[in-house]
Amino acid sequence: MLRSRIIPCLLVRDKGLVKTVNFKNPKYVGDPINAVKIFNEKLVDELIVLDIDASRDKREPDYKMIENLAAECRMPFCYGGGIKTVEQAVRISNLGVEKVALSSAAIETPELISHIAAAIGRQSVVVVFDVRKTLFGNYEAYLFNGSKKVKGDLLALAKHAEHLGAGEIVVNSIDNDGKMAGYDEKLIRLVRDAIDIPLTVLGGAGSLNDIKKVIQEHKVIGAAAGSLFVFKGVYKAVLINYPSIAEKKALNTLTN
């Protein structure tokens, strides 16, 4: 039985740590390496780092930055951004990164999921879907920081990614991003019921109770958050934070 993980998600732009609201207006909040050092001390379950501009700008992953982050991390580390080939994924894995995250590449070249899974193991392949709700209450996936809508049904896309060899799905709510008003529970239920592989959810966590709810009620494997772990207080002062061991026990993070 897998233990649910509480996962900080760090967004990187121009080598700096930023935070967005609805995928817009990235605000600089510090240095990624310093954040990792603090998260090490706080015994974080896992860390996700996403270079938010690499794929949109058609850039290769920043291998030096990834190497520095992996060398500093004392927790499992998932990196995404700019990965378009098996060779890139293998190179990143060899730097000490436990998981590689695919987004635009998984949509534009779905067979890449299978090829990377064969090269580094299915458990190391994560597919990220950035999702926005329609006026009719349905959901659509988007690429490149929410700027390009993906054709096709979201749940069918998630099932196809699983079929091709993805070991984990991350669903990220564009509508809830940075608002700290809670996760989109309808979206979580839909994706959770559609797939059989681990699901991590991202977008909207504003309190530990939000995390507790999705873990206990929706049985997700990963509850990820950005703003919750880099801001503190109503004025959103920058302060890297994470639940204490006692707080994590109180969240009852073991799945039933």
Q: How far apart are CA 88 and CA 93, in angstroms?
A: 9
Please check whether residue 37 lies inside any domain of the structure: yes
Please check whether residue 26 lies inside any domain of the structure: yes
Please check whether residue 61 lies inside any domain of the structure: yes
φ and ψ of 247, to 5 deg: -65, -40
The verdict on whether 130 is a catalytic residue reads yes
pLDDT attached to residue 252: 59
Tokens of 157: 């896309």
242-249 contacts at long range (C-beta below 8 A, 24 or more positions apart): 242/6, 242/8, 242/39, 242/42, 242/43, 242/44, 243/6, 243/208, 244/42, 245/43, 247/208, 248/6
Please check whether residue 67 lies inside any domain of the structure: yes
Q: How far apart are CA 48 and CA 8, in angstroms?
A: 6
- Percent helix, strand, coil in the chain, to 5, is 35, 30, 40
Q: Which residues contact 205 (CB under 8 A, 6 or more apart)?
A: 180, 182, 183, 211, 223, 224, 225, 227, 228
Please write the tens of the pLDDT for every residue from 160-174: 999 999 999 999 999
pLDDT band of 234, cuts 50, 70, 90: confident
Tell me, what CATH number does 61's domain have?
A: 3.20.20.70
Q: Is residue 186 a contact partner of residue 219, using CB atoms and an 8 Å limit?
A: no
The catalytic position among 130, 177, 184, 210 is 130
Count the domains in the chain: 1
- Tell me which residue range forms the domain holding 158: 5-250
Please check whether residue 256 lies inside any domain of the structure: no
- Mean pLDDT computed over 244-254: 74
pLDDT attached to residue 230: 95
pLDDT attached to residue 160: 98
Please check whether residue 255 lies inside any domain of the structure: no
Is residue 254's pLDDT more than 50? no
Q: How far apart are CA 65 and CA 74, in angstroms?
A: 16
pLDDT attached to residue 50: 98
pLDDT band of 74, cuts 50, 70, 90: very high
pLDDT band of 253, cuts 50, 70, 90: very low
pLDDT band of 141, cuts 50, 70, 90: very high
- Among 229, 222, 194, residue whose Cα is nearest residue 78: 222
Q: What is the largest CA-CA distance in the chain?
A: 46
